Amino acid sequence: MNTKLNYQDAEISTKTTDKNKVDEKTNNIYEAISIIAKRSNQINTDLKKELVEKLEEFATHNESLEEVFENKEQIEVSKFYERLPKPHAIAMDEWLKDKIYFRHTQQDDTEL
């Protein structure tokens, strides 16, 4: 399967991460977690869109409910996505490897 994101390095199971490594770039754990959560949501959206596109290739547009069959390729696609690391694990891996770009947007009081 060819996917746009790099999933190989992320942990598949839950792993404890050193808090100091997480908040190292922002000096604020809440800000760091917020950035990671936003990236996780982006990854989740991308994965879902990608999966739906691949499963639509197998969709049959029959009116008949009698013809229900299993497609081995469809099952393999589904299993591939089930085995991927979770979006939050991918986002955490990207954060720790400096692959997430973030910036502060300052809002001027005069712009209100």
87, with CB counted inside 10 A (0-12, 13-18, 19+), is: buried
Rounded to 5 degrees, what are φ and ψ at 16?
-75, 135
Provide the whole-model pTM.
0.76
pLDDT at 13: 82
Whether 89 contacts 40, CB under 8 Å: no
Lowest mean pLDDT among 2-11, 56-65, 66-75, 91-100: 2-11
The CA-CA-CA angle for residues 52, 56, 57, to 5°, reads: 125
